[in-house]
Structure 1
Amino acid sequence: MFDAAGGVVGVVAGTHRAIAGAGPLSGFVYACVNAGLTIGGAVADLAITSTGIGRHYRPLQSTVTGRRLGAALNGAVGDRLTGRYAALATPMRLRDNGVDVPVAALRAHHPDASSHVVVLVHGLVENEEWWQAGDGVDFGRGLAEDLGVSVLRVRYNSGRRVADNGRELAVLLADVADNWPVPIERLSLIGHSMGGLVARAAVHHASADGLAWAAVLGDVVCLGTPHQGSDVERAAEAVGRALGLFRESAPLATLFTLRSSGIKDLRHGHAFEPAPSGRQLFVAATLAVDPASWPGRLFGDLLVRPNSAADPTQPADRRTLGGLSHTALLRHPRVYAEIRRWLSTPWQ
């Protein structure tokens, strides 16, 4: 919090200098404020460490709100947390019922393991609990009950580069395949938004590196994934560039450069080719009831347009559902019906 406050002071000081040509006095004032924040942060850190007061409070990850804040923080600046704030950076791992699941413990957590494994990959500023939050269908529980599959949920730092998360997911799935209680005969990846890009990046790395699980990959399902990029990220980039053109607003442009590498990756999306053995299902959504109407085509779900989510340049089956928001793709019964129908059909 002290570091964030220092960053705000820096932006204010830069804007002041650009607009009013701040003199030595104002420069001295800003320097004093920054020094005060630096000292305050050091004192707070020392007090928390030396008194042990922090031990009287639950860690950030112990509450739903804390975990959501952590996921949002990782999505916003997660690529920079791994250095100074490593404790806040989310490592990629498996989660089950609110706890971490080490790969070595998969047998204990899945005593009735199926040979068909479904992996849920969340999107930007989300975590695995987003698949279960609020009203609607819990896709993981529904698929386990209706199709008898085993479901794994992945949590990762969505502020990192998509390619880096994809590479790490590919390695994690290789470890899962090695430690799964029974031989995996079919692996299905379901990704929401950025999660679809991460899933497809994992497939790309698994194919390139010859990982064994690529041979049993049956399905890649992408829900509202910006394969051709997101207009929201493009707009943020354009605003940042426009602010940088003028001396008075240039300091404000730094606010737009602070977004994470993961967010910036959404500007253009990715066109990873699917593995030879895998099928793809792209599900797009629009707020408009009629997806074919001009509002539906233009605005989509407000974050991703149907043309990007359905990506006609890629080999895939496509569904465009009207009257749904971007987050509704995580839990809506109509989306679940499409996924269940898709996964209930043979893949070979």
Structure 2
Amino acid sequence: MLTKDSTTTDDDSSSRKSGRRDSSSCSSSADMDESLRTMRRMERRSVANDLEGLSRLSTDAVKLTTQLVEAQHSRLDWFGKRLFKDRGEDKVRGPISAIVYGSIHAVNGVVGAGLGLAFSVFKPVLGDATPSKRKDAAIAVLNGVVGDYLEAEKNPLAISMQWRTSEGYLLDTDDKLQELWQESDSQNGRLLLLIHGSCNTPHDWWQEGINHGVALAETLDYTPLFLHYNTGLHISDNGKQLASAIDRLAGSYRQHQQKQQSSSNKNPLSLAIVAHSMGGLVSRSACYYAEHETEEYNTNQWLDQVGSFITLGSPHHGAILERGGKLVDAVLGAHPYTEPISWLGKIRSKGVTDLGYGNVRDEDWYGHTGPTDNRKPAPLPKLVRCLAIAAVLGDVNSSSNRMLGDNLRTDGLVTQASALGRGHSNPDLNLVFDEEITIYNQNHIGLLGSEEAYDAMLSFLLRQGPPGSHL
């Protein structure tokens, strides 16, 4: 039965969790769990930091816009080019124009520095605030679009990778992880890891009152953990960070097990991963680096403990819309008069551009530019059962879907073939899932609220044996 959404208050979250246990026989365990939950804090964002980040981003936007206008001006200023030769290609030559643009940059820099100083002074006064879903969503979209820039500039709005519980508690320290393992419903070592897609947050797993992660966890006795991360970074960078984050989970659980005096309380770690959209690529990247660079990303052998991996609408062979964006960039950049304008089209993050072809390794993007698929093979993890779920707009018997091949049928963002990891002209890049399913009359985001998707995942996970047992 699907779990319905509720408000995110502590009381309602606790009631959802307590539904997994028999209250008549587990009251002491529930009391212990509740006391541990109250010890943790909800993630709190500094209002001052957010405002400072926004002010810095605003001044950066003015700076970049001024540079763009000046660059376009310089390309059209044929008279100034002949009289003044001492400035760069994207700088105006005339002394008066140069003074004007220089003044704009100077004033913008002073204003930005002043705002930064002011916010630093008022930080203690403004204090912290628990984020709303709307605020989280806005920051997530900003990170998805320019998250790499925010990270490079050390902007406070940049999201750092972190785990959250289903109630929204932040697991950002070893102590909080140890508290998690002490809870009665976490001691069995069964973790369901939920990895969201581009521009999303853990809140986005709630769709139409349904949360696949919470519902599956309650039915199958898993503890759900939701990843929150900066989707604007390269997918391979996020993949490495995710591999390290899961490695820390495994190491923390091992420490907890070593503290248990009774052997009957020692349960092996068992992991299952459910990932939506970009999250599927990030998860594949994490598995790839854990498998090939074990000493750095898999010191606690966490990949050996993964029994199942499920992707929902993940663009394993890329997304058509982003490939179209790359083509527009190339066309605009080919002409000297339109090249400055092409900057506007390039204002999208490395994470978004990686979605064009589904890059999951550093080698896929490093040193490459332009609309070309340069990926290297990155097969699915060897000892893990894998399920791919795709969505297709329209009915299975519609004339349009019958005429279109799976390389053209789409959920609005990702083609059926891409979501199932097949159909590429290079067979080495195709993925072989243990099972696959296509859900019709459904769109990309709708998969997160689809009963058919839930039933398929539940059936798949119910058949999960020990990790590697399907071989």
Normalised by the length of structure 2, the TM-score is 0.68
Match of 2:382 in 1: 276
Match of 2:69 in 1: 12
Q: Distance in 2 between matches of 1:343 and 1:231?
A: 31
Match of 1:222 in 2: 311
Distance 1:22 1:325, change over 3 A: farther
1:310 and 2:432 aligned: no
- 1:103-114 to structure 2, matched below 5 A, reads 103-110=174-181, 111=183, 112-113=185-186, 114=188
Match of 1:116 in 2: 190
Match of 1:174 in 2: 247
- 1:1-348 to structure 2, matched below 5 A, reads 1-19=58-76, 21=78, 24=94, 25-50=96-121, 52=122, 55-56=125-126, 62-96=131-165, 97-101=167-171, 102-110=173-181, 111=183, 112-113=185-186, 114-132=188-206, 134-180=207-253, 183-210=267-294, 211=298, 212-270=301-359, 271-290=377-396, 292-294=401-403, 297=406, 298=408, 300-312=410-422, 313-316=430-433, 317-347=435-465, 348=469
Give 1:342 shift.
1.0
User: Letter of the aligned partner of 1:151 in structure 2?
Assistant: P
**Uncovered stretches (5+) of structure 2, i.e. residues with no partner:** 1-57, 81-93, 257-265, 360-376, 423-429
Do the aligned residues in 2 keep the contact of 1:119 with 1:190 (CA within 8 Å)?
yes
Q: Distance in 1 between matches of 2:337 and 2:293?
A: 50
Give 1:288 shift.
2.0
Give 1:268 shift.
1.6
Give 1:92 shift.
1.4
Q: Distance in 1 between matches of 2:168 and 2:217?
A: 18
Q: Distance in 1 between matches of 2:402 and 2:73?
A: 47
1:80-120 deviation per Cα after TM superposition (whole angstroms, max 9, x unaligned): 22232342222211112223113432342351213332100
Q: Identity over aligned residues, as a percent?
A: 28
1:120-163 deviation per Cα after TM superposition (whole angstroms, max 9, x unaligned): 0111111222112x414211210122111111111111111212
Give 1:227 shift.
0.7
Q: Distance in 1 between matches of 2:102 and 2:348?
A: 26
Farther-moved stretch of structure 1 (23-32 vs 228-237): 23-32
Do the aligned residues in 1 keep the contact of 2:275 with 2:283 (CA within 8 Å)?
yes
Give 1:39 shift.
2.0
Do the aligned residues in 1 keep the contact of 2:191 with 2:222 (CA within 8 Å)?
yes
Do the aligned residues in 2 keep the contact of 1:286 with 1:300 (CA within 8 Å)?
yes
Distance 1:315 1:19, change over 3 A: same
Do the aligned residues in 2 keep the contact of 1:16 with 1:22 (CA within 8 Å)?
no
SS in 2 for 1:35: helix
User: Letter of the aligned partner of 1:77 in structure 2?
Assistant: V
Do the aligned residues in 2 keep the contact of 1:76 with 1:125 (CA within 8 Å)?
yes
Q: Distance in 2 between matches of 1:275 and 1:344?
A: 20
Q: Distance in 1 between matches of 2:344 and 2:274?
A: 33
User: Letter of the aligned partner of 2:126 in structure 1?
Assistant: H
Do the aligned residues in 2 keep the contact of 1:136 with 1:333 (CA within 8 Å)?
no
Q: Distance in 1 between matches of 2:125 and 2:321?
A: 41
Give 1:47 shift.
2.7
Do the aligned residues in 1 keep the contact of 2:308 with 2:464 (CA within 8 Å)?
no
Counting matched residue pairs gives 345
Q: Kindly report the root-mean-square deviation, in angstroms, between the aligned alpha carbons of the 2 structures.
A: 2.4
Give 1:223 shift.
0.9
User: Letter of the aligned partner of 2:272 in structure 1?
Assistant: S
Distance 1:90 1:54, change over 3 A: same
Give 1:294 shift.
4.2
Q: Distance in 2 between matches of 1:176 and 1:321?
A: 33
Do the aligned residues in 1 keep the contact of 2:313 with 2:390 (CA within 8 Å)?
yes
Look at both structures and tell me which one has the larger radius of gyration over its CA atoms: 2
Farther-moved stretch of structure 1 (72-81 vs 235-244): 72-81
**Uncovered stretches (5+) of structure 1, i.e. residues with no partner:** none
Q: Distance in 2 between matches of 1:330 and 1:33?
A: 47
Q: Distance in 2 between matches of 1:209 and 1:20?
A: 53
